[in-house]
A and B are shown apart, each in its own frame.
Chain A
Amino acid sequence: MQLVDSHCHLDDAQFDSDRESVINRARDAGLKYMLAIGTGNGPPDLEAAIRLAEAYSPVYATVGVHPNDALKVGPSTFHDLERLLQHPKVKALGEIGLDYHWGVPKESQHPVFLRQLEAAAGARMPVVIHTRDAWADTIETLRLHWAPTGLACIMHCFTGDAGQAEECLNMGFYLAFGGVTTFPKAAQIREAARISPAGRLLLETDAPYLAPVPHRGKRNEPAFVARTAEVVAAVRGVTVEELAAQTTANFEQIFQLSRCMDS
Chain B
Amino acid sequence: MPEENGTGRLDRIERALELLISDHEQFRQDLKQLLIAQVLMQDNLEKLTKRAEENTRQLEIVRERDRDQDKRITALDERVDKLVVAIGEFIRSRPNTIQ
Rounded to whole Å, the gap between the CB of A186 and the closest CB of chain B is 38
Give B42-77 as 1s and 0s: 1 = Cβ < 8 Å from A's Cβ atoms: 000000000000000000000000000010011001
A83 touches B96 (CB 8 A): yes
Rounded to whole Å, the gap between the CB of A176 and the closest CB of chain B is 25
B92 touches A47 (CB 8 A): yes
In the complex, whether B98 has a CB less than 8 A from a CB of chain A is yes
Contacts of B84 in A (CB 8 A): 53-54, 87-89
Q: How many A-B residue pairs have CB under 8 A?
A: 34
Give A49-74 as 1s and 0s: 1 = Cβ < 8 Å from B's Cβ atoms: 01001100100000000000000000
In the complex, whether A76 has a CB less than 8 A from a CB of chain B is yes
Complex CA–CA separation, A47 to B89 (angstroms) = 11
In the complex, whether B91 has a CB less than 8 A from a CB of chain A is yes
In the complex, whether B85 has a CB less than 8 A from a CB of chain A is yes
Contacts of B96 in A (CB 8 A): 76, 79-80, 83
Give B77-99 as 1s and 0s: 1 = Cβ < 8 Å from A's Cβ atoms: 10001011101100110101010
A57 touches B87 (CB 8 A): no
Query: Which B residues have a C-beta under 8 Å from some C-beta of A?
Result: 70, 73-74, 77, 81, 83-85, 87-88, 91-92, 94, 96, 98
Query: Which A residues have a C-beta under 8 Å from some C-beta of B?
Result: 47, 50, 53-54, 57, 76, 79-80, 82-84, 86-89, 261, 263
- Can you list 11 pairs linking A and B with CB atoms under 8 Å apart? A53-B84, A54-B84, A54-B85, A54-B88, A79-B98, A82-B98, A83-B91, A84-B91, A88-B84, A88-B88, A263-B70
